[in-house]
A and B are shown apart, each in its own frame.
Chain A
Amino acid sequence: MSFADGESIRVRDLDKGGHVRAPRYVRGKRGEIVHLLGEFKNPEDLAYGEYERPTKPLYRVLFRQSDLWEDYEGNSDDTLVVDIYEHWLEGA
C-alpha cells in the first residue's frame, strides 16, 4: 500500500490507545496526499521501547478546513496539513 501525490485518502479511525500521533480531529476525514516525507520509526512503537520495529512511510496530508469543522468560520479554501503515518490512511 502506498499513496501517490494528490491521491484522495481517508484517515482511518483506528481504535488504538496509548501514544498515537494521528490527531483525533482528522480521523474519518477525507484529505489529499501532498507528498511522501520518507520512512520514519513509528512513535507508537518508540514510546514503548520498541526501537527495532520497522519504519513506516510518513505522508503530508492536506485537508480542507470546511471538511474538518462543521462550523469553520474562515474562507472556504482554508486548509490544514498534518503528517500522518501510512497505516492510518486508506484510499477514498
Chain B
Amino acid sequence: MSGNGHNHDHPHPGTGRTATPHALRVRAMEKLLVEKGVLTEAEIQDRISYMDSRSPANGARLAAKAWTDEAFKERLLTDTKSAALELGVDASGPVEFIVVENTPEVHNLIVCTLCSCYPRAILGRPPDWYKSFEYRSRAVKEPRAVMREFDYEPPEGIEVRVHDSTADIRYMILPMRPEGTEGMSEEELAELVTRDSLVGVTEVGRVR
C-alpha cells in the first residue's frame, strides 16, 4: 500500500526512496496525514523541493562574502536572515539563526544533543553523522577528540566553545579565513569552505 497505487516489495528507481522499514513507516504516516487532510501531497512535495534547494554551498557563499566585506560580516553576525537574503538565500521561517565567528581565540562547534537541529534553511539536510547518537553525545563532552577524528586539532591555547542547539535558534559557524588567500576572489574563497567547517568539526584549511 503506497502512494504509487500498488503493494511494495521493491524500491522505485529515481524516487530516491528505499523500502527500509523506517521509510515504509514514514510513507504510511504520510499517506494517513494526507487522507486525514492534515497535509496535502503538494505541501509535502513543496517541502522536499525546499530542502533539496538548500546546500552547504549557501553557507560557503555567506562565509566568503563575510571574509571580503566587513560590513556584510557585521550584518551576517547580527541579522543572519536578512544578510542571507542579500545573497538570495531565503532562510525565513519560524526558527532564528545565529552565526558565530571563529577567531584566533575561540573555535566554535555546533551540535544538537536532543535530535538534529541544524541550519537547514541555509545548509539543507544535516549529514548522517551529525544526527548520530555518537556525535550528539560526544560533541558536548569531548569536542576536541571529535575534531581530531575530522583531522582537525585546534591550536594550543584556543578556547573550544560548543553550541548545543536545544531550542529555537539554529547555529552556523563563520570559519576563519585561511592565510595565503589574500588575492582570491569571493568565488574562489567560497570553494574553500566545506560543510564540516560550517558545523565547526574542522576549520577551513590553509592554502598551500
| In the assembled complex, B87 has its CB within 8 A of some CB on chain A | no
| In the assembled complex, A80 has its CB within 8 A of some CB on chain B | yes
Kindly state the interface size class of chain B when it binds its partner. 20 to 34
Given A73-B142, A74-B143, A79 and B161 contact (CB-CB distance below 8 Å): yes
Q: Which residues of B contact A74 (CB under 8 A)?
A: 142-144, 160
Kindly state the interface size class of chain A when it binds its partner. 20 to 34
Closest to B100 in A: A81
| In the assembled complex, A58 has its CB within 8 A of some CB on chain B | yes
| In the assembled complex, B164 has its CB within 8 A of some CB on chain A | yes
Contact with A along B110-136 (1 / 0, CB 8 A): 000110000000000000000000000
Docked pose: A75 CA to B160 CA in angstroms? 8
Contact with A along B164-186 (1 / 0, CB 8 A): 11111100000000000000000
Q: Which residues of B contact A21 (CB under 8 A)?
A: 114, 166-167
Q: Which residues of A contact B143 (CB under 8 A)?
A: 74, 78
What's the nearest-Cβ distance from chain B to residue A16, in Å? 14
Interface centre among B114, B143, B168 (most CB of A within 10 A): B168
What's the nearest-Cβ distance from chain B to residue A63, in Å? 9
Docked pose: A40 CA to B96 CA in angstroms? 11
Docked pose: A83 CA to B113 CA in angstroms? 12
Whether B167 lies near A73 (C-beta < 8 A) is no
Whether A37 lies near B96 (C-beta < 8 A) is yes
| In the assembled complex, A25 has its CB within 8 A of some CB on chain B | yes
What's the nearest-Cβ distance from chain B to residue A3, in Å? 16
What's the nearest-Cβ distance from chain B to residue A86, in Å? 11
Whether B140 lies near A40 (C-beta < 8 A) is no
Docked pose: A84 CA to B163 CA in angstroms? 12
| In the assembled complex, B14 has its CB within 8 A of some CB on chain A | no
Closest to B157 in A: A75
Docked pose: A72 CA to B160 CA in angstroms? 12
Given A58-B167, A75-B157, A81-B164, A25 and B114 contact (CB-CB distance below 8 Å): no
Whether A40 lies near B167 (C-beta < 8 A) is yes
B residues neighboring A (CB under 8 Å)? 96, 113-114, 140-145, 157-169
What are 5 residue pairs bridging A and B, where the CB atoms are less than 8 Å apart in the complex?
Answer: A40-B168, A69-B141, A79-B159, A79-B160, A81-B164
